[in-house]
Structures are given as structure tokens and as C-alpha cells.
Amino acid sequence: MLTLDSSRAWYPENLALKRGKTAAAPKSHRLADKTIADVCEALIGAALLTFHETNNMDNAVRAVTELVCSTDHMMMSYNEYYQAYEKPKYQTARPTASQCNLAMQVQQKHDYTFKYPRVLRSAFLHPSYPFSYEHVPNFQRLEFLGDSLLDMACINFLFHRFPKRDPQWLTEHKMAMVSNQFLGALCVSLGFYRHLLQFNGQLQKQIQNYVTEITEALEEAEEDAVKAGKSREERSPDYWVHTKQPPKCLPDMIEAYVGAIFVDSEYNYGEVQRFFEKQIQPYFENIELYDTYANKHPVTFLTNFLEHHMGCSNWNIYARQLPDIGDGLPPQIVATVMVHNQIIMSQQGTSGRYAKILVAKKALEMLKGLPLPEFRANYQCDCKSEQTTEEGEGDEQMEEEEIQHGNENGYQYVIPPLSAT
């Protein structure tokens, strides 16, 4: 990518340059990789929206093929994805009586009939459970798939329901919809946790304690509804917001279940959409209930702190999986906050999402109260804030509402006036 000076000197061809820029301006300049990636993603999104009403994804598939130019992606229609899928032996093997019984019980909570009950059993199988007992893999692969599918369903809902909202607002509220805190509560509501197979006494105790807490929160919300002259079913849908984080395996079960119905239905995204509309969307019809929850997300706070109040744009959070040491435990993810290529904090977690939350909290604790000149000196930051005007003026303080949210979350950082250095 060109330096700031050379990019400012660039001028389009076939236009007469009369004043203001050097006549020796370059004829072209490179775009940053991030810019190219953003444009590609926007083109794929535009292709997907072309046939949004009919759920036809063929245009988006073709767009991906054209843009990536890779032999790893030669599909030209959505149906080709399933054609390339080879059913594993565990899926097509004859199910046991207990696996068939599981499918019938789960169908009472969500009306989907599994053709391959062994896929459902895989969705509810913890990594600690021995493979030799059921001869099906644990839920990690299906959870990985379901996580992405739920992201798409939530983004679809928010994008079309709120056409005037900016990307940051959409991202923050999507975080609430796919948060472990909500998905854990949903897992208990659907009763899926009862079907988890695992060999970990401590985990079982954690699940029992969480189920007790989330059940009490639900009953309290129902009692409040009755006191207000409503039916118990009209209780506030955000009863889960003020409960503790669930054991990670519970939200994993929801994501793995979504992945399971997608695979079992031969990649029918309509089944994913139906699950979302029936089991998740009712909680978020009144999305304003979650404004405060979304604003409290640690990654959002870190973004606001660095970009809007320190004027720094050269920072990022990276997450990567640590090497598997063969101890049978789930792989650990390490997340790192970097400012101007300097590592300022690293934290480990059981997932990329958890690790990023932890490292964002720690980074905020370390940076809070740091004067702006000291921040810029420590990290050699010379970024130009979008809020700084040509005269060097800028915002002098956080909005009162943001300060309140930060104090509630225990961050209580002090933002110095933003000024040019």
C-alpha cells in the first residue's frame, strides 16, 4: 500500500490536472488487502440479496467462485455443496434404540424429524465422552458449522428488519443474539441439556447450578408478568440477561443441533431459518431491550476506547488455536490485542469468542486512565482520529450514557480530551 503522501498525489487518468496536486502524480496505486476483502464481501452480499425473497443462493455461490479464483471452490450453484458432501459411515450406520428414542424426545421440543438419528446423537455428545460407547464423533464439528449458520440467520434478520441501522449497531445486537449467555438459556428452555452425554463430574455440577439459576430467573420473570396483569407467557424475553455465563457446552449444543439439522436435511438452509424463526426470533422482536446489553460487550468497549477516544485505528484482536498436546481436552484458543504491532495483552479461552472477551476486558483494565499523550508515546501512535477536525478540535469526553455502562461493567476508565499531538 502506498504511503499517505503518495496516495494523496494520485490522480485519475484522462482528467486535466489544473492545480492543487503535483503533475508527476502516479497513474495508479495499490489498495490495502482489507479494502479488497471488504469489496469482495460486499459483492457476495449483493449477489445474495438479489434473490433474498426466494432464498436462492446460486448468485452468491457464483460470486464466491469468481472472486476467490481457487481450485478449492469451483461450485456454481448452492446444490453443488451437498453433492460434494460424502456421508460419513457413522451417519448412515443403523441407529440404536436409544438414539432413535433421543430423536423422538427432541422432536417434541422442535418439530424436525431426523432421517439419521446418529447425527443428532453427535450434536449432544461432549468431547469427554468415550467414542467407543456410541461410535459417533463429539459435537465439535457440528458446533463449528452451526455457529456460522446461526450467524447468517441472525444477520439476515437484523439486516432486513432494520434497514437504516449502521454496521456497528447491527454487529452489537447480533452479538446478543448469538451470545453464549442467550444460547445457554435457550438450551435449558428447550431441555436439550438433559440429553448431553459427558464424563466430567465437575461439569455436571456446573450445569446443575446454572440450570437452577436460569430457571429461577425465568420463574421470577413470569411472576412479574402476572403481577403486571399479564399471562405467564407474556413475561419479559430478556430474563437471561442478568444471569451468569453458562457452561460452554450448553450453547455448543444449540449450535451443534443447528448444524445437525442442516446436515440431516441435505443442506436445506430453510430448516435453519425455521429453527431461528420459531426458537430464537421471538426473544428479539423487541430488539431495544438489548441496547444496553449490546453496548456492554467488552470488545465494543475496547473499540470505542481505542478508536473514538484515543484516536487509534492501527489495532486489532487476533485469535488462533494453540497446538493440540494430545491430552484429550478441547483445544485452547489464544486471543491477542495488538496496538501498532505491539502485543499489549494475551488471554486463553475455550473458544475464539470467549478468548476475545477475556482479552478485551484485560486490555481495558490495563489502558483505563492512561493519558492520551502517554498512550501515543508508549505505542508510537500517530493515527488521525475521525473526530478530530482540521483545526485540531475533538470530542473532549465520552457520552454520559457510555460512561454509565462502563462503570456498571467495572471498567471505569477515564478518557482524556482528544487532541492533536
Lowest mean pLDDT among 73-87, 208-222, 332-346, 398-412: 398-412
Domain boundary among 86, 108, 133: 86
Whether residue 279 is found in the same domain as residue 358 = no
Using the predicted structure, report yes or no on whether residue 404 has a pLDDT greater than 60. no
Query: By residue range, what is the domain housing residue 120?
Result: 94-294
DSSP helix/strand/coil, 318? strand
CATH number of the domain that 98 lies in?
Answer: 1.10.1520.10
Cα separation, 316 vs 302, in Å, equals: 10
Same domain, 336 and 356: yes
In this prediction, residue 10 carries a pLDDT of 62
Residue 141 lies in a domain: yes
Whether residue 65 contacts residue 75, with contact meaning beta carbons closer than 8 Å, is answered with yes
Say yes or no to pLDDT of 111 above 50: yes
Averaged pLDDT of the chain: 83
421 located within any domain = no
Instruction: Please tell me the distance from the alpha carbon of residue 190 to that of residue 209, in angstroms, as a whole number.
Output: 17
Cβ 138 vs Cβ 125: under 8 Å: yes
Least confident of 185-189, 247-251, 349-353, 408-412: 408-412
Say whether both 103 and 146 belong to one domain.
yes
Query: Within this chain, do residues 177 and 262 fall inside the same structural domain, yes or no?
Result: yes
Residue 416 domain-assigned (yes or no): no
pLDDT for residue 34: 84
* Higher-scoring residue by pLDDT: 311, 265: 265
pLDDT tier at 417 (50, 70, 90 boundaries)? very low
* Residues 95-121, mean pLDDT to the nearest whole number: 97
Same domain, yes or no: 2 and 44: no
The domain total for the chain is 4
- Whole-model pTM over 0.75: no
CA distances from 413 to 337, 369, 408 (A): 18, 5, 11
* 244 lies in some domain: yes
Q: Looking at the structure, do residues 204 and 250 belong to the same domain, yes or no?
A: yes
Please name the residues in contact with 90: beta carbons below 8 A apart, sequence gap of 6 or more: 118, 122, 135, 136, 137
pLDDT value of position 28: 67
Min mean pLDDT across 33-37, 62-66, 212-216 is at: 33-37
Domain annotation covers residue 417? no
Mean pLDDT of 195-206: 92
40 contact partners, CB below 8 Å, separation of at least 6? 67
Q: How much is the average pLDDT of 387-415? A: 37
Q: Which three cell numbers mark 328?
A: 484429550
Does the pLDDT value for residue 202 go beyond 80?
yes
CA quadruple 177, 183, 184, 186: dihedral positive or negative?
A: positive
The DSSP secondary structure of 14-54, one letter per residue, reads TS---SSS-TT--S--PPPHHHHHHHHHHHHHHHHHHTGGG
CA neighbours closer than 13 Å in the CB half-sphere of residue 102? 24
Same domain, yes or no: 154 and 13: no
Based on the domain organization, do 66 and 189 belong to the same domain? Answer: no
Least confident of 26-30, 38-42, 274-278: 26-30
264, part of any domain: yes
Percent of the chain past pLDDT 90, that is, above it, reads 51
Fill in the amino acid letter for 207.
I
Q: Which residue has the higher pLDDT, 401 or 258?
A: 258
Please compute the mean of the pLDDT values over residues 160-177 and round it to a whole number: 91
DSSP-based three-state secondary structure for 147: helix
Among residues 274, 294, 314, the one where a domain terminates is: 294
pLDDT greater at residue 300 or residue 237: 237
What's the pLDDT score for residue 4? 44
Is 418 within the bounds of a domain? Answer: no
Whether residue 289 sits in one domain with residue 201: yes
pLDDT-based confidence at 324, cuts 50/70/90? confident
Same domain, 109 and 198: yes
Mean pLDDT, residues 156-174: 91
Q: Which of 26-30, 160-164, 360-364, 389-393 has the highest mean pLDDT?
A: 160-164
Choice between 388 and 231, residue whose per-residue pLDDT is larger: 231
Q: What is the pLDDT of residue 313?
A: 81
Residue 261 lies in a domain: yes
**Is the pLDDT score of 315 beyond 50?**
yes
Residue 353 pLDDT = 65
Q: What is the mean predicted confidence (pLDDT) over 92-119?
A: 96
CB-neighbour burial class of residue 318 (10 A; exposed 0-12, middle 13-18, buried 19+): middle
* Same domain (yes/no): 233, 316: no
Beta carbons within 10 angstroms of residue 238's beta carbon: 18
